[in-house]
Every structure is written in C-alpha cells, then in structure tokens.
Amino acid sequence: MNDDVQASRHGGLDPVDESLRRARELLRAVATLTGDSDLAGQAVLRDPRAALARAESAIVQALTRSGERTVRAQLAAALSQVTVLLSRLREARLEARSAAIEDLHRSLARLRAAGSVADLVDQAPIELNRLGYQRSLFCRLSGPNWSPRSAFAHADPQLAHDLVEIGTAVPGQLGRELPETEVVRTRTPVLVEDAQHNPRVHHRLINLARTRDYVVAPLIGRGEVIGLVHADRHAEAGGMTAFDVRLMGLFAEGLGCVLERVVFAEQLRRLRDQLTEQARSVDELIDGFGGLGEPGPTPGPDPLGRLDGPFAELTRRELDVLRHLVKGRTNSQIAAELFVSPGTVKTHVKNVFRKLGVANRAEASARYHALTRHNR
C-alpha cells in the first residue's frame, strides 16, 4: 500500500474504499479500451497511484495510435476520470496525514497519563492500534536479546497473548534478526517488506501473525536504545510504507520521553517510601532507648510527670501512648496523633502493660487512675 492509501486510512476508510473501488473499475475499462490486459490485474490496494499512472500512460499511447473518433472520445473520457481520481487520492493523502499527526498527539497525551511503567507498557500497543495498526508489540531490550512485554492484535486477543508468550520463550537476538539489529545500530526506524521471505527476521513471530510488511522503531531512554516497538497490518489491509516509518518514528520518540518521565516518577516514589520507612525506624529506635540517660518528666500540670514507681520506668513516648490509651484511643488513632505506625504503637502498649504489671487496656486505665488519685 502506498502513502496515499496508508495516510488516508488514518483519516477515514470510506472515501478511500470508494476511490479504490472506482480505481478497479477504471483499470478494467482502460484495459479493455487499450488492449493492455495487465492493467486489470494491477495491485490497486498496494499502490493505487502507480496503477493509475500506468493506466494514464496506456491511454495516452492508445490516443496516439487510434484514429477512430468514438474510441478516441472514450479514451479521452477515461483519461479525465483517471486524472480526477489521482487528484482525489492526493487530497485524501494530505488530509489523512494531518489527521494522523493529530491522532499521534492524542495518543501521546493519553500515554503521559500513565501512572506506572507497567501501565505504560500495556497501553503503548493499544495506542498503536488507534493510529491504524492492527498488530503491535512493545519489546524490551536486555543485552543482545529483545522480547515482547506487551502486544495488541485487533479482534484477536489470543494472538496478542501468543505473541508475548512465544516471543518471551524464544527472544529475538541482535545479530540474528537483521532489521532489529539495524534499528539499534542506527537508532532509526526501519521498514521490513515481504517479511515472509526474509531469512533474517524472527520467523516464529512473523509466521504466527502472518506478517507481510512491518515497521520496527527504537525506544530510546537516557540516550540508549532500551526497547523496540513493532507494528503491521493484516495482509489483506495492505503493506507498510515510508509514511508508517515516519509516524512510527515519531511515536517511539514520544514514547521514550514519556517512559523516562514515568520511570523517574516511580524512582522518586520509591525513594520517598524508603525515607519514610527509615524515619519511622529511627523514631522507633529512639523510643526504644529513650529511657537511657533521658531526664525524667518535668513537673507540671500532667499528673504523670509527678509520679514515681511504675510510671518512672516509662519512656517519654510510652508516657505519651499511655495518656492517649486512658482516653480510650485505638492504636490507629494513637499512631495518627503521634505520627508513628500502628505497629510501633502496639509495641509501646505492650511495654506499658509489662512495666505497669497489667494485662489489658482496662487494667492499665484502672492502674493509672488509682495511682494518680493516690498521688494527688
């Protein structure tokens, strides 16, 4: 399929299908008028402009040979129709290319909304389908090996599953599969035509999907090729062209930028969680040794600050926990008040019970009230 048909498929199928139908009719009519039987068998779907250009040339030659007025009139009419149809295809190409770029911007905007690398990996093949490709792969590059992490196959989820499963079991290798090797070496997308007869492709995947032509583009992150994206169409839908190479290249470039941002965001979240956990651990450590060399509670309005005996053995944080405990607070509520984990509160509660010689919250509260009344 040439750029005209390919581009127009991104902008809407109906006008193109009608043009192709009309092109087939014209080729058959021109074949009859010119006696060029090969015109009727031209591959219109794959390259309609070339087929119509050949018909145009055949008509011009027939006009120079024919002297019969009726035949010349028919040839002239056919030539006019061919010219008009070629013009329509060119207009459709321009309109569809603009639409394809708009679709690309929308796809990248949706990808930027991904909350994790896993979400991005799953979404990328779906967005390629929205750009007009029936089958697509998102592949990870690990050393010399590349293997699918996610896939999409229009109306055939089993095929998508099988592509990932087989590609994982039998990963591609740089040096063995020439197209992917070339993409990594040059960092540019590559068009692979007639893959069924190409000895240097991943035939397990090619045969499974019955791929004829496909485009593979590099996924670049932090200046290195870290993955590959593949896309193609059903054989009956036509081939891939230079237009697909450009579009896939832009998609892969944008996807690489999005991937870098999502990876960085995930790293920041992990760092934040690690720092939070470390701070919690330090807090627990301080609480555990808070009684060593720590001055006792200062006198004040708090009755616990004036008591000796069992209360004197409690650390500062254990005293805080006890104050909340006698008010009927749960472990979660105490944790929220003291900015520690519920697990830390549970440990403090056990220590309070042990030091006060009680078995539960009720006994701890009763012990507290008894001691505070005694010392008033």
Write out pLDDT tens, residues 229-260: 999 987 666 678 899 999 999 999 999 999 99
Q: Average of pLDDT values for 62-87?
A: 88
**Structure confidence at residue 297 (pLDDT):** 45
Higher pLDDT, 141 or 289: 141
Confidence of residue 289 (pLDDT cuts 50, 70, 90): low
Per-residue pLDDT tens digits for 203-235: 999 999 999 999 999 999 989 999 999 999 876
Q: pLDDT value at position 45?
A: 56
- Return d(Cα 193, Cα 354) in angstroms, integer: 78
b/e map 228-267, b = 16+ CB within 10 Å:
bbbbbbbeebbbbbebbbbbbbbbbebbbebbeebbeeee
Q: Is the pLDDT of residue 312 over 60?
A: yes
Q: Is the pLDDT of residue 299 over 50?
A: no
pTM: 0.62
For the chain, what are the domain ranges? 3-100, 113-266, 303-374
What mean pLDDT, rounded, does the chain reach? 84
- How much of the chain, in percent, has pLDDT values that exceed 90? 43
205: its two tokens: 């995947």
- Rounded to 10 deg, the angle between the 242-288 and 117-130 helix axes is 160
- Residue 37 has φ and ψ, to the nearest 5°, of -65, -20
Structure tokens at 314: 């409690």
Q: For position 293, what pLDDT does the model report?
A: 43
Q: How confident is the model at residue 277 (pLDDT cuts 50, 70, 90)?
A: confident
Output the pLDDT for position 218: 98
| CA 174/CA 116 separation, integer angstroms | 28
Q: What pLDDT shows up at residue 292?
A: 44
pLDDT of the residue at 127: 97
The pLDDT of residue 12 is above 60: no
- Whether the per-residue pLDDT at 306 is higher than 60: the answer is no
pLDDT reading at 4 higher than 50: no
Helix axes 242-288, 3-11, angle to 10 degrees: 50
Number of Cβ atoms within 10 Å of the Cβ of 338? 17
**Which residues make Cβ contacts (< 8 Å) with residue 250, sequence separation at least 6?**
104
- Quick one: DSSP state of residue 222? T
In this prediction, residue 296 carries a pLDDT of 44
| Comparison of pLDDT for 12 and 217, the residue scoring more | 217
The runs of H, that is alpha helices, within 173-315 are 178-186, 203-209, 242-288
How far is Cα 322 from Cα 117, in angstroms, rounded to an integer? 45
Residue 358 reports pLDDT greater than 70: yes
Higher pLDDT, 282 or 148: 148
Query: pLDDT (tens digit, 9 = 90+) per residue, 38-54?
Result: 787 666 556 777 888 88
Q: What was the pLDDT predicted at 16?
A: 60
Provide the pLDDT for residue 186. Answer: 97
| Architecture category of domain 303-374 in CATH | Orthogonal Bundle (1.10)
Which CATH number applies to 113-266: 3.90.1150.10, 3.30.450.40, 3.20.20.210, 3.90.79.10?
A: 3.30.450.40
Overall average pLDDT of the 168-187 stretch: 97
